[in-house]
Amino acid sequence: MPTPPVPLDTLRLDVADVLGEDPADLPDDEDLRDLGLDSIRLMSLVERWRARGLAADFTELAEADPTLRGWHTLLTAGS
């Protein structure tokens, strides 16, 4: 089953939610670890995205470029 398309702004809203930040304060290329993203928050995001039908993999996201743009590219590859 193909991964449903996910807008970058949807990822931004989700990440901002788990970080307790304003979505407008999250640039596309900011290292999310510098903003407080840790493995627990990442797992929360993975579970949220899987519930929406995204093929989110914790290990792939943890090893990928930890930016909104990097994750968007990973999550939309093959969609």
Q: Is residue 3 one of the residues assigned to a domain?
A: no
pLDDT at residue number 77: 85
Containing structural domain, residue 33: 8-76
Q: Which of 5, 12, 16, 20 is nearest to 52 (CA)?
A: 5
Q: Is residue 20 one of the residues assigned to a domain?
A: yes
Over residues 12-55, the pLDDT tens digits come to: 999 999 999 999 999 999 999 999 999 999 999 999 999 998 88
Q: Is residue 71 one of the residues assigned to a domain?
A: yes
Q: Is residue 19 one of the residues assigned to a domain?
A: yes
pTM beyond cutoff 0.95 = no
Residues with Cβ within 8 Å of 59's Cβ and at least 6 positions away in sequence, in order, are: none
Number of separate domains in the chain: 1
CATH of the domain at 14: 1.10.1200.10
Q: Is residue 34 one of the residues assigned to a domain?
A: yes
10 Å CB burial of residue 78 (0-12, 13-18, 19+) is: exposed
